[in-house]
Amino acid sequence: MTKKNVKSGPKPLSPYSAEIEKFIKDTYLKLSEKDRRAYAAIEALKLPRGGNTYIVGLLGCSKNTLLRGIDELQNPEMVLKERIRKKGGGRKSSIETIENIDEVFLKVIDDYIAGDPMDKKIRWTNLSHKNIATKMKDQGIDISVTVVKKLLKRHGFTKRKAFKNARIGSSKNRNEQFENIAQLKNQYFMDGNPVISVDTKKKNC
């Protein structure tokens, strides 16, 4: 019995060693979306026929992404300067999508706000970013400390700064003091009594 001659197809293009391929992939992953397209296109254009398929497989990008990158290289006017994504693109932050986030934020820190008696614009909270995120979660809003920082900035809170040169000591029960004050304030409200906050500190001369 004679064997039939089987024509072998073209071998897949493999112009680089495994080490160089790893370098190309690592470099690609460090780039922005726009620069990834350009880098993939440059690598593909350096190769002979089959280069597009090779680069798509190597980098894991789509064929359309690669072709768009090639179009942008050959037609620079297509690229919008200093913009990675089109206007309105990308995932919006929780601070923009959660409807009552500001209301809940101000509510959970209300009993933990302090400030400079000489400047009403300067105020801060003794709660850490993590504490605030935890209290927000207890109210049904799960956010990161990054979003907490944005909320503090949006509502004009600053980092607390030490204005005195000499240390006057600290209390390990400082947080409990705030908790007790908050509890007493709520009890007075429930009993129908007014609550007045008075700060008698004066700026040192």
Using only C-alpha atoms, what is the Rg of the chain? 30
Residues forming a β-bridge with 119: 116
Residue 86 confidence (pLDDT) above 70: no
Cβ atoms within 10 Å, residue 145: 13
The answer to whether 113 touches 123, Cβ cutoff 8 Å, is: yes
Distance CA 48, CA 5 (A): 28
> For residues 110 and 198, which has the higher predicted lDDT (pLDDT)?
110
Q: What CA–CA distance (Å, rounded) separates 107 from 122? A: 19
> Which tokens in the block code for residue 75?
């037609």
> Confidence class of residue 82 from pLDDT cuts 50, 70 and 90?
very low
Within the chain, residue ranges assigned H as helices are 18-29, 33-45, 51-59, 63-74, 94-97, 101-109, 129-138, 145-154, 174-190
> Domain residues of the chain, as ranges?
18-78, 94-162+177-190
Yes or no: say if 160 and 108 are a contact pair by the CB < 8 Å rule.
no
Q: What angle do CA 140, 124, 205 make, to 5 degrees?
A: 170
Q: Does pTM surpass 0.85?
A: no
Q: Is the confidence at residue 159, as pLDDT, over 70?
A: yes
Query: pLDDT at position 40, please?
Result: 93
